[in-house]
């Protein structure tokens, strides 16, 4: 492992397939940008967090100015799907690598001083704390994560970073003074209990969709799993069936649930997370549309044991 001044190079990965993958990774990363979430402005729907410093990368931009990337972690960020190194390679070499989502928060640039007292720019990137431990313990995940962070900063701030001669700073978890960070709050969805006799009538298009089995997702495909925690059966329907939907309706079968207060439901912009404690059910699934979280609602039928989530979809003309 080569030493350079006060820096430490990331070790070579002794795997020919991995080396070939990272030589072509720039094109692959472009398909993953849809999963990167910018830090929200400080509003009533956001909250302040203090992430833990992780490790720091030094590189330069196209003007040979020093750039520092502070990779931080926080339990407040959602955890991505649990996968192995082999699965990561397969996903990123597939036709659709965007099926693997990594929630991230890309912070604003802040001016700092380098060790010579010259001005430089630092950026903070925050990921989930549990996922950060996997990154630290795997050269493959670490190199992948660093590359993804560089591509994300380039994409957001229209920069061109040196992705060849970057260095992992030795014994330095963070460069500069950490600014305030704010992340968007996922509001808990209120679950209303109903009996089967009070269940609302389904729209004609949804009835048709169920009969023809044109569900956009079903059962446990695409859902992140937790070890030894059952994943409930589910389906997600769209209304109308053709074109961009106005609504999505998720129906989740929860045989072991007695009442709605036992269900914890979080709706993200494009994600459903359901938990029933203690380790009765866990569902974590991304959906292929952005939804209006504040307008969404859920009902739990105590007789059929089905949780129905109605989610208005963001119209195409309103999407940036």
Q: Alpha-carbon distance 173 to 190, whole Å?
A: 40
The pLDDT assigned to 270 comes to 85
More confident residue, 104 or 54: 54
Q: Is 126 helix (H, G, I), strand (E, B) or coil?
A: strand
Which pLDDT band holds residue 160 (cuts at 50, 70, 90)?
Answer: very high
- State both tokens at 141: 């995940």
Q: Alpha helix locations (H) across 158-272?
A: 204-212
User: Is-above-0.85 flag for pTM?
Assistant: no
What domains can you pick out in the chain, each with its CATH number?
3-184 (no CATH), 191-318 (2.60.40.790)
Q: Could you report the per-residue pLDDT of 192-207, keeping only the tens digit for each?
A: 666 654 444 444 333 4
* pLDDT band for position 125 (cuts 50, 70, 90): very high
* Host H or E run for residue 89: helix 85-92
Which two structure tokens, joined as six digits, stand for 159? 């920069």
Q: pLDDT averaged over the chain?
A: 77
From residue 308, alpha-carbon distances to 199, 251, 289, 292 in Å are 10, 5, 18, 16
pLDDT digits (tens, 9 = 90+) for 240-285: 888 889 999 999 999 999 888 889 998 888 889 899 988 899 998 8
**Rounded to the nearest 5°, which phi and psi values hold at 305?**
60, 35
Report angle CA 18, 22, 26 to the nearest 5 degrees: 155
The pLDDT tens digits for 170-224 are 889 999 999 888 876 655 556 766 665 444 444 433 343 444 444 554 443 445 5
240 preceded by a cis bond (ω within 30 of 0):
yes
Q: How confident is the model at residue 142 (pLDDT cuts 50, 70, 90)?
A: very high
Q: Which has more pLDDT, 85 or 43?
A: 85
Tokens of 281: 């059910």
What percent of the chain is modeled with pLDDT above 70? 70
17: tokens are 């397939």
Residue whose C-alpha is closest to residue 126's, from 186, 48, 227: 48
Alpha-carbon torsion 124, 130, 132, 133, what sign?
positive
pLDDT at 173: 95
Phi-psi region of 225 (alpha: psi -120 to 50; beta: other; left: phi over 0): beta
- Quick check: helix, strand or coil at residue 297? strand
- Model pLDDT, residue 223: 52
Does position 123 have pLDDT exceeding 80, yes or no?
yes
């Amino acid at each position: 492992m080569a030493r350079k001044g006060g820096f430490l190079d990331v070790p070579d990965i002794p795997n020919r397939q991995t080396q070939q993958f990272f030589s072509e990774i720039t094109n692959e990363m472009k398909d993953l940008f849809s999963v990167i979430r910018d830090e929200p402005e400080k509003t009533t729907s956001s909250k302040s967090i203090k992430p833990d410093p992780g490790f720091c990368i030094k590189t330069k931009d196209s003007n040979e100015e020093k750039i520092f990337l502070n990779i931080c972690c926080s339990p407040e960020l959602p955890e991505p799907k649990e996968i192995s190194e082999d699965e990561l390679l397969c996903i990123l070499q597939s036709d659709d690598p965007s099926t693997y989502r990594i929630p991230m928060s890309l912070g604003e640039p802040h001016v700092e001083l380098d060790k010579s007292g010259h001005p430089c720019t630092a950026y903070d990137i925050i990921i989930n704390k549990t996922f950060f431990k996997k990154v630290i313990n795997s050269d493959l995940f670490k190199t992948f994560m660093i590359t993804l962070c560089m591509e994300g900063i380039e994409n957001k701030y229209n920069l061109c970073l040196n992705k060849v001669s970057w260095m992992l700073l030795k014994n330095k978890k963070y460069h500069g003074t950490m600014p305030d960070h704010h992340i968007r709050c996922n509001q808990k969805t209120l679950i209303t209990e109903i009996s089967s006799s009070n269940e609302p009538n389904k729209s004609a298009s949804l009835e048709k969709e169920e009969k023809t089995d044109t569900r956009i997702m079903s059962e446990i495909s695409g859902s992140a799993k937790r070890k030894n925690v059952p994943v409930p059966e589910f389906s997600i329907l769209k209304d109308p069936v053709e074109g961009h939907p106005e609504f999505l309706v998720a129906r989740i079968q929860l045989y072991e649930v007695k009442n709605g207060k036992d269900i914890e439901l979080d709706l993200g912009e494009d994600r459903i997370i359901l938990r029933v404690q203690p380790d009765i059910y866990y569902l974590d699934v991304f959906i292929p549309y952005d939804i209006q979280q504040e307008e969404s609602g859920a009902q739990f039928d105590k007789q059929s044991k089905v949780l129905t989530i109605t989610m208005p979809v963001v119209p195409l003309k309103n999407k940036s």
